[in-house]
Amino acid sequence: MKAKVYVTLKNSVLDPQGKAIKHSVELLGYQGVSDIRQGKYFEIALDGGLTEDDARQEATRMAREVLSNPIIEDFRVEIEK
């Protein structure tokens, strides 16, 4: 089983890296880009014996305590069987 965790900066937090990336994208001529926000993606291989609910709970706890900083970031967890 695999947990996928997406960590993104909260909307209220400025993302200077995202802004720089957007600038480069625009330099290359891409049209219609109103914003780019950079985030982090984690793939966590979990023990096959876990139920989906347990896996989600463990991954969520990990995301809250380690993978994200709740002061500046939000996260989302997906479980893949």
Residue ranges in contact with other proteins by CB under 8 A:
9, 12-14, 16-17, 20, 66-67, 69, 71-72
How far apart are the C-alpha atoms of 35 and 30, rounded to whole Å?
A: 12
Residue 41 CB, shortest distance to other proteins, in Å, is: 13
- Look at residue 1 and give its three-state secondary structure: coil
Q: Residue 57 or residue 69: which is nearer to other proteins going by CB?
A: 69
Q: Residue 52 or residue 66: which is nearer to other proteins going by CB?
A: 66
Please count the other Cβ atoms lying within 10 Å of the Cβ belonging to residue 8: 19
Q: Residue 20 or residue 52: which is nearer to other proteins going by CB?
A: 20
Residue 67 CB, shortest distance to other proteins, in Å, is: 7
